[in-house]
Amino acid sequence: MKHSDGTRGVALLEVLVALTIFGIAALSTLERLAQLSETQRQSQAREAALADQDRLMTAMSLLTREDLDLRLGRRIVGSLVIEVQRPRATLYRVEVGREDATLPDLTTLLYRPEPRRAF
């Protein structure tokens, strides 16, 4: 059985088109994997930063009224910023965030009763 040159040319063209489609799909898949890898890296870094912030917030929540009074205002602790405010006599607002962020990541209110007065 003899094939004409036209049939061979069409088969070669089909193979080239198939390889091109496969190559484009492979490049797209590799690009998507690279994006997923970067997203995972960023997610892990953010999770580690939040864990650091949580530890600092936990430490602040264990402080007494007197200790919180000493820490009123804004302070830099490593790469984090902590701000302690006292909006009311018995209430403290504590914010923890990244130094480069405009808003804090964690905020809590702490109640510390006024000391009892001896009569």
Q: Where are the domains of the chain?
A: 5-111
Whether the pLDDT of residue 3 is over 80: the answer is no
pTM for the whole thing? 0.67
Residues linked to residue 82 through DSSP beta bridges, in sequence order:
75, 96
Report the alpha-carbon distance of residue 16 to residue 10 in Å, rounded: 10
Q: What is the pLDDT of residues 25-48, one digit of tens each?
A: 999 999 999 999 999 999 999 999
Q: What is the pLDDT of residues 44-85, one digit of tens each?
A: 999 999 999 999 999 999 999 999 999 999 999 988 999 999
Return the pLDDT at 9.
77
The total number of residues shown for the chain amounts to: 119
